Amino acid sequence: MDTTARMHDRRHRLAPRATVVATVVVVVAGLLAGCASSPSPDRTTAASAAASDSATRSGTGEIRHELGPLTDRFPQLATALSATWMSGTMGDERVPGPSTYWIDAVVVLDEAGYAELRALAPGEAGSDAEAELPDLDAGLDDALPPGPLVRSSALDDAFSQDGRSTQVFLDDATSSVILTSRFQ
């Protein structure tokens, strides 16, 4: 066999190996890209928070009144006199992976505790700081104060610790804190 024929024969034998190697490289690259880390719960982006807000809520529908689970998660509520709240998960339970939990609550604080939180939301009710509530679980409708409500980003930040994304609203007339929180 001449040299040209041998090289041609060798290329034909190596071509399938090169194709297999290229395929393996593409598959491994795809797997590695899929394993890229996502942001930690402490760094929830606005886009992911908005996505979890639009997800389907599930829960038992039970209206709860015990303070312990709330004050454990939110030490700012340590002076709570009463609470009405609900909780559950977001999304489809059939989809594997970590769950996003939600809590909606109306909490009445004593005067001193309320005053501490109110200092984080400057302005008067009815001013530019006035806010409308986001969609809370309908089971809380009877517990909601009439308002007007105030809020501030400083107040939200104070409650958005340990991976929670929380919106907080205050009602001066009843010393109530209304919050909606999402976390993993």
pLDDT digits (tens, 9 = 90+) for 39-60: 333 323 333 344 444 457 677 6
Number of continuous H segments (helices) and E segments (strands) in the chain: 5, 7
Asked whether 167 and 179 are in contact (CB, 8 A), the reply is yes
Burial class (CB in 10 A: 0-12, 13-18, 19+), 59: middle
Asked whether 86 and 65 are in contact (CB, 8 A), the reply is no
Q: Which residues pair with 100 in a beta bridge?
A: 90
Query: Rounded mean pLDDT of 123-146?
Result: 77
Task: Report whether pLDDT(117) > 60.
Answer: yes
**Per-residue pLDDT reduced to its tens digit, 21-32:** 444 444 434 433
State whether the Cα torsion 47-51-54-57 is positive or negative: negative
Query: Rounded mean pLDDT of 109-124?
Result: 92
- Please give the mean pLDDT across all residues of the chain: 75
